[in-house]
Amino acid sequence: MTIDDALHRLLLDNLTTAVILLDADLRLEYMNPAAEMLLAVSGQRSHGQFISELFTESPEALASLRQAVEQAHPFTKREAQVTSLSGQTLTVDYAVTPILNRGATLLLLEVHPRDRLLRITKEEAQLSKQETTKLLVRGLAHEIKNPLGGIRGAAQLLSRELPEEHLKDYTNVIIEEADRLRNLVDRMLGSNKLPQLAMTNIHEVLERVCSLVEAESQGCINLVRDYDPSIPDLLIDREQMIQAVLNIVRNAMQAISGQNELRLGRITLRSRTLRQFTIGHTRHRLVTKVEIIDNGPGIPAELQETIFYPMVSGRPDGTGLGLAIAQNIISQHQGLIECESHPGHTVFSIFLPLDKGATSS
């Protein structure tokens, strides 16, 4: 391999665009790491395989590729639905360019995943909403706590002046309700304590949550563990991360118990790693993905866009703070939390970068 060849290979290997090169028979000549990650296959092992062995689309798409080889005619396709070998359906845009090399026609495919772009846009909107909500809550908290302190102090002074003991029951109600509201505001704001960072195995966190949930449910709920033991330790606050995951798992348990008998409920805790994953505006080489999956009734469609806001709950007796607190903790760790839900299947996904720790908010 010449210096130019090595440089070209280096450039292709570091592109974020998925690049696939096919020969005239539509068999794989080369794919870069971005394509390997997109299709979840190994380029080296897949060398020489027919394109339909890598991913499938429509018969018309296959005919278009053959026509591109025969007529040397480039084309572009938008929002194509392709299915990878793992069964995952992807929405992609791809451009096909015929290349003449030593008398043979090759096809260069540049594949742009639409799902990823849509997800990044959604993440940015979610992070922006979270920051706006945090500022709003802090402003409201300041405006609420000041008059609450005055009301409580006035009630205490009035209590001392009352001539009969039974009349103090009314001032006690005022004091107790003022305290309750102050505690609620404090919970909305979250903890002011800086994260206590230490290298921690994420499975220690998940196992601690499992033990707490098993104790609360008295072993009636079916907890499924699906861990990747190769995940390295993360720089996180162990206690805060336990709280974040526990809030999500408790929500799942409460949703299941409200729908079915508890013993029919199933919660799966799954851990995986992802490469070249974007959180906000930052692309990380490696992130840990933790999924909490339940078979409950699902989150109502009208709540799915607002479930991370404080005071938003799908339960009549819910405070709506559990997910807001979880999101704040994950955000402090430079991570991201997402949710997908339909009846019988709800997934909360937590993404934590393996190259960064937490920050103060």
Q: What is the pLDDT of residue 317?
A: 55
Judge if pTM exceeds 0.85. Answer: no
Return d(Cα 22, Cα 46) in angstroms, integer.
12
Q: C-alpha 68: how far from its chain's center? A: 39
Q: Which phi and psi (to 5°) does residue 166 adopt?
A: -70, -20
93 neighbors 116 (Cβ within 8 angstroms):
no
Q: In angstroms, what is the C-alpha Rg of the chain?
A: 27
297-353 pLDDT, tens per residue?
888 887 877 777 765 655 555 556 778 888 888 888 888 888 888 888 899 999 999
Mean pLDDT along residues 193-209: 89
Residue 361 pLDDT > 50, yes or no? no
Q: Is 356 helix (H, G, I), strand (E, B) or coil?
A: coil
Provide the β-strand partners of residue 94. 77, 111
Q: How far apart are the first and last CA of the chain?
A: 51
Dihedral (C-alpha) 164, 165, 171, 176: value to the nearest 10 degrees?
Answer: 180
Residue 91 pLDDT > 70, yes or no? yes
132-161 pLDDT, tens per residue?
766 776 777 777 778 888 888 898 898 888
Q: What is the pLDDT of residue 276?
A: 73
Q: C-alpha 149: how far from its chain's center? A: 39
Q: What is the pLDDT of residue 326?
A: 87
Q: C-alpha 344: how far from its chain's center? A: 19
- β-pairing, 198-200 vs 222-226, is unpaired
Mean pLDDT along residues 275-284: 77
Helices in the chain by DSSP H: which ranges?
3-13, 33-39, 43-46, 59-71, 114-161, 168-189, 202-216, 238-259, 322-332
Mean predicted lDDT score pLDDT of the chain: 83
98-132 pLDDT, tens per residue?
998 888 889 999 998 886 666 666 666 666 666 67
Return d(Cα 203, Cα 219) in angstroms, integer.
20
Structure tokens at 131: 């920051």
319 neighbors 251 (Cβ within 8 angstroms):
no
- Which residue do the tokens 């090759």 mark? 106
208-244 pLDDT, tens per residue?
999 998 888 877 788 999 999 999 999 999 999 999 9
